[in-house]
Chains A and B, each alone.
Chain A
């Protein structure tokens, strides 16, 4: 006090000297109060200003909170901010709702809680030590503090421990740039460590040609162990040993053969499990990510294609709760290197000596336009392939129809497939709706190889609610418990007539789901099988107002859109009596059935099987290079986005057919993609509404009675080799390695 008065006395004469109106800018009398000068006064903490208005907060990542029971909501306080959370939420989830992102390594929202990394420690009032927020349930009235010195010290300590035995591999580790450990140590760790001993190292495990392991980098978070046992359904991985000698491994020399094994690469927070084909190829900051759709199966998983220049470097899953959650199958993830091999890049015409000669587009289209006028209209056949998008199929159908022929279909749908009613070829319970089922009957389908994401969803349902699964078909191994009822149609007949023991289980199920595989469509007795399935569904109340459990699992990405647009095979003899065959990416066509004197035009992006029979080759773009509409097996329409530029002189599929129509004299009335889309809108408007699922409008009650009987041939597997199903995967070296090494013999 005295000093202050002395100071002000000393300043006052000077202020008289300055005497300017802005003396207040130069001089400021230092004023002191008695409370501020005594030490006891300083120790008293400032009282909280009452009723502080905090700015509103939104949940992390724009997430929405689902209250399954609104009366059961609890109120907790996160950093002074009150949030309402549902009853079973953990402290970490409550903080996420409040907009606070808590660092974690072992916690993953889709896996069970482990609580062993201790990075998520937060301070809770009235608790002696910081609590692991991922494991602690939020209790009403809890006051959670995430930015106090205790919480920060805890995070620094945990980070220091984790980095103690972690090797200095950042320059050679593939995870650099997208590593959780790097990011969290920068954000929450201390700047220096105190470890001066020798670091431990761990021997690497061989998990197959897809997952590269450097187990020294492992921080033992056990995310991969939990993923393999819960989501993938295989108990391959486990934690061996204790303490600092802990190792993640398979204990026996076993490869990870699961079709979801690539997802552990995304899950692992450090560089212990990385992608072997992508090893040392690129850093994540030099890649351009394009959000697009996968076409290797009928599921339409959402992916992000990372490309560097004209080359696709890797494929990463995107979140889509309805279809693939956060996972993709190995085929989707690793078949991208097939896009670089066996590519068709120039139009070619077969010479008189049988060899192909590269020509210009003018000549190629002129030749095709000439020949097409020399055949009769019903000898023209157009076949769309399994990777064709809706636009190109629409233009092909229009062109073939204008030439006077009705023979245009998509491969995989044999004669007589009924495309009138959409329920008869779609997955009517949507893929996310399968979670509510409590009984599954799989008829002639192996979802593990046909649609790995549907299988993952069934596995999730079985695990969560103990649903029962039974299947009719060839014996196969599933990654969940299921009963094998039979291999052929006799079992189906018995269930339809009510004689089988399984019928009681069907009757008692609240939400039964029947999944029929699209391999059935190729059988001659498919009508009988479908009517048997429909009688089962009628007898057991499978199709009701609120629940439609009758599902069809399609095999190819183009099938649903093809059936929506009306590309069905009208006559069985169309191919045998054809003189002009237009194959638009169709490789699964039986080439021997095409007559020897027929003129075959192959339009596609890979030189696969059917190319060798072709007379003219027209190069087209692959799914990573074009913008196309695809409909998945549940009726969800999505669009691919071009990620890399076109290869060579290739053109988009629909543009080639449109140009051919003009050269042939039957010019189609549209010349832009919007025009094609408005044409599609008049045929199948659901294909224009992207990112929307259009359920089937009518149920089985409209179908007429079927008089045929089922044949005795047992159900055959529709997919022989999971890793080689389309032209891209057959051209891929990684898929070849996988099928040589990972398939169960």
Chain B
């Protein structure tokens, strides 16, 4: 039922039955990611670039982005994708500039907090994107 996550798992875990189980899986995933952070910093030589707390913040921000989702199946799929990404990073299948560009807030990744875009209308948001809307 609640099989603990390991980084090398065999087979596809069954779908979560309800929201609480999906929630527990999310937290398990976050814990696994945070536990793999020292390995990641070591592989990609990120000691001078970023602190582990900042990387944890980045991961939690991405999880929080999807905090509004209520469908367990969707959460499972997002978790699958997150697991895939984490496996790639830990396997050294990515490179340093990928990590810096995607997860290091400030140097690579410009975090838009969404505060200045919230008050605008759809028209203005579309206007800033392109001419065709």
Contact = CB atoms under 8 A, between A and B. Distances in A.
Q: Do A and B come from one complex?
A: yes
Nearest to B116: A362
B131 interface: yes
A652 B131 contact: yes
Given A659-B123, A662-B120, A662-B123, 19 more contacts: A360-B128, A361-B127, A361-B128, A362-B128, A621-B131, A646-B131, A650-B131, A651-B127, A651-B131, A655-B131, A658-B123, A658-B127, A659-B127, A662-B121, A662-B124, A663-B124, A667-B121, A671-B122, A671-B123
Interface in A344-371: 360-362
6 contacts: A650-B131, A651-B131, A652-B131, A655-B127, A658-B127, A659-B124
Interface in B87-120: 120
Interface string A621-652: 10000000000000000000000001000111
* Residue from B120, B121, B122, B127 having most chain A Cβ neighbours under 10 A: B127
B63 to A, nearest CB: 28
A650 B132 CA distance: 11
A676 to B, nearest CB: 12
A655 B122 CA distance: 13
A646 B133 CA distance: 13
Interface residues of B, number: 9
A117 B59 CA distance: 81
Contacts of A667: 121
Nearest to A662: B124
A659 B123 CA distance: 8
Contacts of A652: 131
Contacts of A650: 131
Interface of B: 120-124, 127-128, 131-132
Nearest to A646: B131
Nearest to A361: B128
A370 to B, nearest CB: 15
A658 B126 CA distance: 12
B38 to A, nearest CB: 39
A63 to B, nearest CB: 38
Contacts of A646: 131-132
Interface in A640-688: 646, 650-652, 655, 658-659, 662-663, 667, 671
Nearest to A647: B131
A686 B120 CA distance: 34
A362 to B, nearest CB: 6
A323 to B, nearest CB: 30
A360 B127 CA distance: 12
Contacts of B127: 361, 651, 655, 658-659
User: Closest 5 CB pairs between A and B?
Assistant: A671-B123, A659-B127, A646-B131, A651-B131, A361-B128
Nearest to B129: A361
Nearest to A620: B131
A509 B6 CA distance: 101
A671 B121 contact: yes
A658 B120 CA distance: 13
A404 to B, nearest CB: 22
Nearest to A362: B128
A621 B131 CA distance: 9
Contacts of A659: 123-124, 127
Nearest to B120: A662
Interface string A66-92: 000000000000000000000000000
A156 B132 CA distance: 53
A108 to B, nearest CB: 41
Contacts of B120: 662
A707 B121 CA distance: 54
B99 to A, nearest CB: 27
A53 to B, nearest CB: 54
Contacts of A360: 128
Contacts of B128: 360-362
B46 to A, nearest CB: 30
A362 B117 CA distance: 11
B129 to A, nearest CB: 10
B94 to A, nearest CB: 30
Contacts of B121: 662, 667, 671
Contacts of B124: 659, 662-663
Interface string A222-254: 000000000000000000000000000000000
Contacts of B122: 671
Contacts of A662: 120-121, 123-124
Nearest to B128: A361
Nearest to A668: B123
Contacts of A671: 121-123
A650 B121 CA distance: 20
A621 B132 CA distance: 12
Contacts of B123: 658-659, 662, 671
A225 to B, nearest CB: 47
A361 B122 CA distance: 15
Residue with the greatest number of chain B CB neighbours at <10 A, chosen from A652, A658, A671 = A671
| B121, B122, B123: residue with the most chain A Cβ atoms closer than 10 Å | B123
Nearest to A671: B123
A360 B123 CA distance: 17
A662 B124 CA distance: 8
A658 B133 CA distance: 14
Contacts of B132: 646
Nearest to A672: B123
A361 B131 CA distance: 12
A659 B124 CA distance: 6
A652 B132 CA distance: 9
A546 B119 CA distance: 59
A646 B124 CA distance: 18
Contacts of B131: 621, 646, 650-652, 655
Nearest to A655: B127
Interface in A197-230: none
A651 B121 CA distance: 17
A642 B31 CA distance: 54
A663 B127 CA distance: 12
B120 to A, nearest CB: 8
A148 B25 CA distance: 86
Contacts of A362: 128
Nearest to A626: B131
B70 to A, nearest CB: 31
Nearest to A670: B123
A362 B119 CA distance: 14
A727 B131 CA distance: 22
B112 to A, nearest CB: 12
Interface string A52-69: 000000000000000000
Contacts of A658: 123, 127
B121 to A, nearest CB: 6
A514 B123 CA distance: 48
Question: Max chain A CB contacts within 10 Å: which of B122, B124, B128, B131?
Answer: B131
Nearest to B123: A671
Nearest to A621: B131
Contacts of A663: 124
B42 to A, nearest CB: 39
A493 to B, nearest CB: 53
B48 to A, nearest CB: 32
A667 B128 CA distance: 16
A542 to B, nearest CB: 47
A12 to B, nearest CB: 80
A360 B128 CA distance: 9
A212 to B, nearest CB: 36
Interface string A162-194: 000000000000000000000000000000000
B86 to A, nearest CB: 34
A582 B131 CA distance: 21
A640 to B, nearest CB: 15
Contacts of A621: 131
A31 B121 CA distance: 87
